Amino acid sequence: MRVLLQPAFILHRRPYRNTSLLLDALSRDHGRIGLVARGATAPRSRLKGVLQPFTPLLLSWSGADELATLTGTEEAGLPTALPSQRILAGLYVNELLVRLLQRLDPQPVVFSAYQTLLTQLAQATNEEPALRGFEKQLLDQIGYGLSLDCEAVSGQPIVAEAQYCYVLDQGPLTAERTEAGVPISGQGLLALRDGSFTDPEVLREVKRLTRAALAEQLRGRALKTRELYRFRRESQKPA
């Protein structure tokens, strides 16, 4: 297979042999792809400094199956200038995509949502609403979307003032029915459904739910960026 100038972003890169890189990239029409960038770190390589996260690129490659060879690279715009305090959020999303997206499974909606997310992270004063909205979209697109409209047993519409427990393999149940699952208010369920996160307490509820849903799909695999988040929180505590 030969693909020419496909819009893409680098999700992850690591050294390979002497001067090459192994890349995980998110492409618009081919989904997540694995690439070998031969000679990319050689002293005179024109790719030095180009194959970086958060930079819109046009990539060409040849080969099939799990690992193809990068054959061409063009910048498709300026790198998204994430503030220093948002870079970890961007890396967290990149790690999620590497862990949860199958290779060569086209995900144009995820690609578009990722572009939007980078803009939001660059501009917003609070990263949390953008991250929660993206997590919901990602779960929807990989086939594990959350049920946010109706109570799982009765089928009754979610009531903002009611309390629920979200059981991941069933959906939201009224708090009277079960103590299992993730506690969340009806307001939290509706906020996640509508992408409206104006209440900080509701945002915390939503974060607990999306984190539990993502952990289910990660199947116990820890995220390195979560460890970095914990380290950052600890380092910011008063002595």
How do residues 71-126 score in pLDDT, each as one tens digit? 999 999 888 899 988 999 999 999 999 999 999 999 999 999 999 999 999 998 89
How do residues 126-170 score in pLDDT, each as one tens digit? 999 999 999 999 999 999 999 999 999 999 999 999 999 999 999
Residue 105 maps to a domain: no
pLDDT at residue 117, rounded to an integer: 97
pLDDT at residue 239, rounded to an integer: 55
In this prediction, residue 193 has a pLDDT band, given cuts at 50, 70 and 90, of: very high
pLDDT at residue 22, rounded to an integer: 97
Asked which of 57, 75, 93 is the last residue of a domain, the reply is 75
Alpha-carbon distance of 114 to 193, in angstroms, equals 18
* CATH code (residue 14): 2.40.50.140
Both 158 and 239 in one domain: the answer is: yes
* CATH code (residue 239): 1.20.1440.120
User: Which range of residues forms the domain containing residue 227?
Assistant: 146-239
Asked which of 75, 102, 130 is the last residue of a domain, the reply is 75
Alpha-carbon distance of 154 to 162, in angstroms, equals 14
In this prediction, residue 238 has a pLDDT band, given cuts at 50, 70 and 90, of: low
Residue 42 maps to a domain: yes
69 contacts 61 by C-beta, under 8 angstroms? yes
Both 154 and 68 in one domain: the answer is: no
Place of tokens 């997206």: 101
Residue 104 maps to a domain: no
- For 135, other C-beta atoms within 10 Å of its C-beta total 23
Helical H runs in 34-185? Answer: 87-100, 108-123, 128-141
Residues 6+ apart with CB under 8 A from 32: 11, 24, 25, 26, 97, 98, 101, 102, 103, 104, 105, 107
How do residues 43-60 score in pLDDT, each as one tens digit? 999 998 899 999 999 999
- For 14, other C-beta atoms within 10 Å of its C-beta total 8
How do residues 65-79 score in pLDDT, each as one tens digit? 789 999 999 999 888
Residue 128 maps to a domain: no
177 contacts 153 by C-beta, under 8 angstroms? yes
Residue 129 maps to a domain: no
pLDDT surpassing 60 at residue 9:
yes
pLDDT at residue 179, rounded to an integer: 81
Residue 138 maps to a domain: no
Asked which of 45, 75, 105 is the last residue of a domain, the reply is 75
Burial 192-225 (b: 16+ CB within 10 A, else e): beeeebeeeebbebbbebbeebbeebeeeeebeb
Provide the number of structural domains found in the chain.
Answer: 2
Alpha-carbon distance of 210 to 126, in angstroms, equals 17
Q: Which of 144, 198, 151 is nearest to 169 (CA)?
A: 144
Handedness of CA 49, 118, 230, 167 (dihedral sign): negative
Give the predicted TM-score (pTM) of the model.
0.92
